[in-house]
Amino acid sequence: MDISGSLVTALMLLGLGMAFVYMFLGLLFICINLMAKYIPADKPVITPQRKTSAAPKAAGQAQVSPQVIAAITSAVQQYRKSQAV
């Protein structure tokens, strides 16, 4: 085949090849978007851990705080009294 004929074939290959690669990957793009839309996400594994780690904190705060607050308040009052005298 002469060179000009080959160049025309190469031009055809360029157009056809790039169009096909884009079409193929474009369809894959649509596929992936559909997958993202219809396939539910994995359930996060960390959630139960968070709950357990968060629970004792709250419980701890609720248990400790009245006593501690009472102790601190009485200590502050005693200190103020002693300072006033």
The answer to whether 18 contacts other proteins (rule: CB under 8 A) is: yes
Comparing CA positions, the residue from 42, 38, 80, 12 lying closest to residue 4 is 12
Comparing CA positions, the residue from 84, 81, 63 lying closest to residue 73 is 81
Q: How far is the CB of 5 from other proteins (least distance, A)?
A: 10
Nearer to other proteins (CB atom), residue 18 or residue 76: 18
Which residues are CB-neighbours of 9 under 8 A, at least 6 positions away? Answer: 1
The answer to whether 66 contacts other proteins (rule: CB under 8 A) is: no
Site for other proteins, rule CB under 8 A: 1, 3, 6-7, 9-11, 13-14, 16-18, 20-29, 31-33, 35-36, 39-42
